[in-house]
Structure formats: structure tokens, C-alpha cells
Amino acid sequence: MRIVGGRLRGLKLADVGAGDPAAHLRPTSDRVRVAVFNLLLNGGHGDPVTGARVLDLFAGTGALGLEALSRGAARVAFVEEGAAGRALLRRNIELARAQGVTDVWRRDATDLGPNRGTGYGLVFLDPPYGQGLGERALASAQAGGWLAPGAMVVWEEGAAPAIPGGFDLLDQRRYGDTLVTLLRAP
């Protein structure tokens, strides 16, 4: 697994092999990350990455958030409850030398609580597939004030998610067993 674009392009991230099913680690493939960032940057939605404050929910290895940093995001907050994921995430932050522009929070993404800071303009949502966790996490983020007005949400899931009221569906594409959904928050 490598960073596929931007200033860190080619950086090899910590190896997780095929993932860790017990820890619910299923890293986003390089191919899907290329597709996601092509959709974000070339899909007619402006540039939601450059200068963005990014929230990476169910962060796992942190590949999506680190890819955003590589492509010009200002800061990334990673939310990962699992110890195995956080260990890989911290190692990848070190490899990217991104300690000063990242936060790692051990927290349940489906129960974020209130946000005490500014909302995030770009949100990555990559929950374990088929458990309804993405819907709960997005509802928690919205209720807690984690989303900036008009935030872009990139949601990876195995099947079409239930899109909450008020969110605009911008795009939806399948890449193998991954369905990528782009939403705009109210």
C-alpha cells in the first residue's frame, strides 16, 4: 500500500497484508483511492481537498486521510477505536512525517459526542461493510456538529447506503466489492 498522489506520492505505508478481519481492517486499495481522489478533484465538485480540515472515520491504517494530506489538506483528524488500527495508523503518520498536522482519537465513530472545534469540510467514512455503522456514524457526526456546512462526504460501503435526509447524492460508483458514494452535507 502506497500514497498514490501528491507530495508524498510513492511513500510505502505499513504493511497489513490482506487486512485483519478480527480488527475489521480492510485497507482501501490503491486503485480505489486513485478513483476516489479523481472523483473529488476532477468530478466537477470544486477542490474539496486543498486546505481542507479532514475527518477520517473508521480510519484504520489512515491511508485515505494521509492521501488527502499528500494532496494539500491542511489537517486530518483520524477516528479509530481498534488498537491494531491505531498502531498501524500511528506508524503511517510517522512514515509520512505528519505528526504536526494530524490528530488520532480513540473513539467510537458511531457515538462521537459534541465537536468542540470547527467543523470538517471533507469526511471519509469507511466502516466495516454491511453493519449499518456508516449511517450511525454520519448521523452522530451531523448531530455533534462535526460537519462544516456543505461538507463533502466520501462513503465506502459494500452496498448502497441509506442516505440521510438533507444530504445531496453527488456521485456513486462501484469498484469491485466497494461502492463509493459522494455526498454533500446540508
pLDDT digits (tens, 9 = 90+) for 92-113: 999 999 999 999 999 999 999 9
Residue 42 has pLDDT above 80, yes or no: yes
Check pLDDT > 80 for residue 156.
yes
Higher pLDDT, 91 or 28: 91
Query: Cell 461493510, residue?
Result: 129
Percentage of the chain modeled with pLDDT above 90: 82
Residue 135 inside a domain? The answer is yes
pLDDT at 58 over 80: yes
Which DSSP letter does residue 25 get? B
User: Which pLDDT score is estimated for 19?
Assistant: 47
Q: Tell me whether residue 8 is in a domain.
A: no
Q: What is the domain-level CATH number for residue 106?
A: 3.40.50.150
How many CB atoms are closer than 10 A to CB 42?
9
- Establish if 4 belongs to a structural domain: no
Average pLDDT, the chain: 92
* 165 domain residue, yes or no: yes
Rg, C-alpha atoms of the chain: 15
- Is residue 2 a part of any domain in this protein? no
Q: Which domain holds residue 123?
A: 21-184
Q: Which residues have C-beta within 8 Å of that of residue 176, sequence separation ≥ 6?
A: 29, 31, 32
| 120 located within any domain | yes
Domain membership flag for residue 10: no
pLDDT at 52: 97
User: What would the mean pLDDT of 73-92 be, rounded to a whole number?
Assistant: 94
The residue to which cell 498522489 is assigned: 5
Q: Could you report how far apart the first and last alpha carbons of the chain are, in Å? A: 34
Number of domains within the chain: 1
Residue 15 lies in a domain: no
